[in-house]
C-alpha cells in the first residue's frame, strides 16, 4: 500500500498545525481540546487547552508561568504513546529545559515537528536528537546566511573578561527569562565566575524552578534587596525590556549587555544601547539549519515561521520539496 502523503493528515489550520487522525494540534495559538506542546516559551505553550501533552519539565514550566490549572489536564509524555492510532514520541530538541521535537508516525510515514531547536551544546538541557524522517518541520528564526552564532562559551568568556577589566562598574545583562537566563548563569559558573549573581525580580521564579529540577545556578540574590554600594562591580541579569528603563538607574554606571542571536546585527545592538553585545542564541543559525535538514534525510521540509524565503529556496537546491507554512502567532521573543 502506498503511504498517504503527510500533507493529507498533518496540515496548518487557523488554530495551528493539526494532526487529523490523532485529533491534536502541535503548539496551537488558540485553546483546543488537545495540544502537544514542544516547550514552555509563550509562543508555543499557551494556557486554556483541554489537555496538554508535554515533557515533565515543560509541564512544570507551564504551571509556574500560567498556574497549575492552566490546562484541563496535563499529560506527561514518557516514551512513545499511541494517540488515536498515531504514534507520538517527544525527542529532545536542545532548545531549553524540557524542549522536545514531536515525532509522529502514521501508516508508515514519519514526520518530525521540531518546534524550536539548536545544535550548539547547552548545559541546561538534553542535546538535540537527530531523528531521520520523511517530513521535517523546522522554524527559520535565523533563516538567512548572515546569521552565524558564536560559540556560547566564547561569548561568556568575553563577558567575564569585561567584569575583570571593569571592577568598579556593574554589568547589566539582558536575557530572556526562560532558557537564556539560566544558560548564561550556568556558562558563567563553568567559566569560573563564583560570585553572587543579582536578578531582576522577573527572573526569579523560573530560576527557582530550574534549581528544583536539578540545574544548579550558584548563589543568586535579588537586586532590589542589595545594600547601597553592593552592586558596584556586580553581575546583574534582567529581562531585555529592562536594560534601559528606570529600574537600571540604581546601578552604578553599568555596562549594558544583551545575549541574543540578534546581536549579530549591529544596528539592533545600537538601537537598544547595548555596549557589549553577545551573539548567543537558543535557535539554530543558518549553517545549523542546513546541516540538520540534510541529516534528517527528509524528502520534504516545511518551514513554520521566521525568514522562510531564503530557507525554502535553499531546501529546493538541496533536492528536497520545501514549503512555507507561514504559521501565525510565533514571535522572536525567545531567541
Positions in the binding site for Zn ion (CB under 5 A): 41, 43, 116, 334
Least Å distance, CB 40 to Zn ion, is 8
Least Å distance, CB 311 to Zn ion, is 15
CB-nearer residue toward Zn ion: 155 or 334? 334
User: What contacts 143, CB < 8 A, 6 or more positions away?
Assistant: 286, 289, 303, 306, 307, 308, 310, 311
Give the Cα separation of 100 and 92 in Å (integer): 4
Least Å distance, CB 44 to Zn ion, is 6
CB-nearer residue toward Zn ion: 116 or 288? 116
CB-nearer residue toward Zn ion: 38 or 257? 38
Give me 179's grid cell. Answer: 532558557
CB-nearer residue toward Zn ion: 58 or 296? 58
Give the Cα separation of 155 and 33 in Å (integer): 43
CB-nearer residue toward Zn ion: 116 or 300? 116
CB-nearer residue toward Zn ion: 39 or 171? 39
Give the Cα separation of 281 and 61 in Å (integer): 20
Least Å distance, CB 127 to Zn ion, is 16
Least Å distance, CB 329 to Zn ion, is 10
Closest among 109, 122, 117, 114 to 90, alpha carbons compared: 114
Q: How far apart are the first and last CA of the chain?
A: 43
Tallying the residues shown for the chain, one arrives at 335
Give the Cα separation of 105 and 18 in Å (integer): 14
Give the Cα separation of 213 and 207 in Å (integer): 10
Least Å distance, CB 185 to Zn ion, is 18
Burial class (CB in 10 A: 0-12, 13-18, 19+), 165: exposed
CB-nearer residue toward Zn ion: 4 or 42? 42
Least Å distance, CB 95 to Zn ion, is 6
Least Å distance, CB 246 to Zn ion, is 29
Burial letters 238-275, b for 16+ CB under 10 A, else e = bbbebbeeebbeebeebbbbbbbbbbbeeeebeebebe
Per DSSP, helices labelled H in 51-179 are 56-66, 152-165
Give me 156's grid cell. Answer: 561568556
CB-nearer residue toward Zn ion: 60 or 116? 116
Amino acid at each position: 500500500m502506498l503511504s498517504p502523503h503527510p500533507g493529507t493528515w498533518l496540515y496548518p489550520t487557523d488554530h495551528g498545525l493539526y494532526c487529523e487522525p490523532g485529533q491534536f494540534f502541535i503548539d496551537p495559538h488558540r485553546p483546543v481540546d488537545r495540544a502537544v506542546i514542544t516547550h514552555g516559551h509563550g509562543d508555543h505553550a499557551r494556557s486554556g487547552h483541554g489537555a496538554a501533552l508535554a515533557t515533565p519539565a515543560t509541564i512544570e514550566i507551564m504551571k509556574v508561568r500560567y498556574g497549575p490549572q492552566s490546562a484541563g489536564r496535563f499529560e506527561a509524555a514518557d516514551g512513545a504513546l499511541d494517540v488515536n492510532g498515531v504514534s507520538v514520541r517527544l525527542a529532545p530538541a536542545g532548545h531549553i529545559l524540557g524542549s522536545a521535537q514531536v515525532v509522529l508516525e502514521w501508516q508508515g510515514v514519519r514526520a518530525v515537528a521540531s518546534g524550536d531547536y539548536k545544535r550548539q551544546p547547552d548545559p541546561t538541557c538534553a542535546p538535540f536528537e537527530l531523528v531521520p524522517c520523511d517530513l521535517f518541520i523546522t522554524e527559520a528564526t535565523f533563516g538567512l546566511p548572515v546569521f552565524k552564532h558564536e560559540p556560547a562559551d566564547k561569548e561568556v568568556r568575553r563577558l567575564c573578561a569585561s567584569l575583570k577589566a571593569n571592577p568598579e562598574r556593574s554589568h547589566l545583562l539582558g536575557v530572556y527569562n526562560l532558557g537564556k537566563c539560566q544558560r548564561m548563569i550556568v556558562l558563567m559558573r563553568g567559566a569560573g565566575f563564583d560570585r553572587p549573581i543579582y536578578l531582576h525580580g522577573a527572573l526569579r521564579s523560573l530560576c527557582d524552578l530550574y534549581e528544583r529540577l536539578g540545574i544548579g545556578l550558584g548563589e543568586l540574590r535579588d537586586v532590589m534587596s542589595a545594600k547601597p554600594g553592593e552592586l558596584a562591580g556586580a553581575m546583574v541579569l534582567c529581562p531585555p525590556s529592562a536594560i534601559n528603563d528606570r529600574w537600571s538607574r540604581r546601578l552604578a554606571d553599568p555596562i549594558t549587555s544583551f545575549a541574543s542571536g540578534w546581536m549579530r546585527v549591529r544596528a539592533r545592538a545600537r538601537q537598544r544601547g547595548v555596549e557589549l553585545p553577545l551573539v548567543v542564541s537558543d535557535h539554530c543559525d543558518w549553517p545549523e539549519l542546513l546541516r540538520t535538514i540534510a541529516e534528517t534525510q527528509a524528502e520534504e521540509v516545511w518551514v513554520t515561521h521566521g525568514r522562510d524565503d531564503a530557507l525554502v529556496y535553499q531546501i529546493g537546491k538541496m533536492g528536497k520539496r520545501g514549503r512555507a507554512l507561514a504559521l501565525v502567532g510565533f514571535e522572536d521573543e525567545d531567541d
